[in-house]
Structure 1
Amino acid sequence: MSVTEVDGCAILRFAGELTADSVLDLEQQLLDVRLPQVREWVLDMSDLTSMDLTCAYALLRAATRVPATTTVRVRSARRTVQRMLQHAGVDALAAIEEPLPPAAAAAAVSRTCRNGHRSGRVQLAGPTVLLHGGSRKPILSPRPRMGSARAAGAFAA
């Protein structure tokens, strides 16, 4: 992992595989002194081939330590990496963006910090996740998801 700071935005680039063997190194790098001082984290995972649950939880712990005014986004993660982040609950604290084609991903990273920033707000993935009273603890809305057994029963009545 490498950390680059550009205009108050930290870009964390991941490459290769993140396994349980590398979790201590990952946690040490996530304690970088620059990270709490920026207004936005962009986790660029375009070169990350796989991640295990231990490393996903390490990212979750780091995301819970950031100030409430800091936005956290995951960019260009492969589907398997996205699923691992969702299993760990990272999607409740960070926006997980859909993967881009390689050429578009490089251009998007260069524009990352120039897209407007809304101070005091955390971007969330999915329409059913809410933050209550500015706290960092997610509360799931009671709305059933389409296609689930509860949703089918709820709409049949």
Structure 2
Amino acid sequence: MKSLLLAAALALPLPALAETREERVTAAAEYVELALQGFDMPAMIETMYQPILQQVAASGQTLTEDQVAQIRQLYLDTFTDPLTKLMRDQAGIMADMMTLAEITALRDFYATPEGKSVMAKLPQLTAAQQPGIMALINENMESLMPQVLGIINGEAPAP
């Protein structure tokens, strides 16, 4: 039995044996703080209410600049602190999912000028993809919902 355990331990990569969760959490927390420094949180939050503004415009209603500013401020006030906390909480999640080498590589990348630039552009990437994602969801929802409800209710899904 001891030889089986020794063989299993030797099969693991040495870094996996040497690193601790605490080390991974520390490195991940450093990564998160770097990411937050370059992250445009207001731009990310703006992607959250843009679909509402688009729906209002599509319905023919025109919002004033003051109304848009009020909606923007409402979203910023509501989501800035909780989203920042969620991002900081990801250090523990990362530590459970990634190796120290992976976390360190991410942290080191985001410390570079290129990494900082990428982080600053992520909200714009999300905003650019969001209309396509929403259209894809909306296009499929009518056919998906009856099937989902059929599965939930124990019925055979409709073809």
What range is the shorter-chain TM-score in? under 0.3
Greater helix share, structure number? 2
Larger of the two Rg values belongs to structure: 2
Higher relative contact order (CA 8 A, sep 6+): 2
What TM-score, normalized to structure 1?
0.26
Greater strand share, structure number? 1
What TM-score, normalized to structure 2?
0.25
